[in-house]
Amino acid sequence: MATSLKIDDSTKDRIRRLADARERTPHWIMREAIREYLEREEARESFLADAMAAWKDYRETGRHVAGDDTLAWLATWGTADERPAPPYRD
């Protein structure tokens, strides 16, 4: 699928300079930039969807893990005394 994109001269120059420095084509730089942007934004959307689902579940059930319990558990990660995840509270 061919797509055209209008960009200002300053941005074109920046893309050309970066392409030259990386020994890539401007086309490759633009495709890579779009791919990275999409991956980042899709990950952000996924995170937000997960957060909203967790918030909905909390409102419906009241189940949660207390912040202090979570911090104490995380402090043991990677140690000889690593603890299992704390239980949910209602």
Domain extents for the chain? 10-62
What is the chain's mean pLDDT, rounded? 96
Q: Confirm if 65 and 88 have CB atoms less than 8 A apart.
A: yes
DSSP code string of 61-73: H--B--HHHHHHH
**∠ Cα 47 40 37 (to 5°):** 150
Reported pTM: 0.70
Q: pLDDT digit string (tens) for 8-49?
A: 999 999 999 999 999 999 999 999 999 999 999 999 999 999
| CA 22 – CA 10 distance, rounded (Å) | 18
3-state secondary structure (DSSP) of residue 89: strand
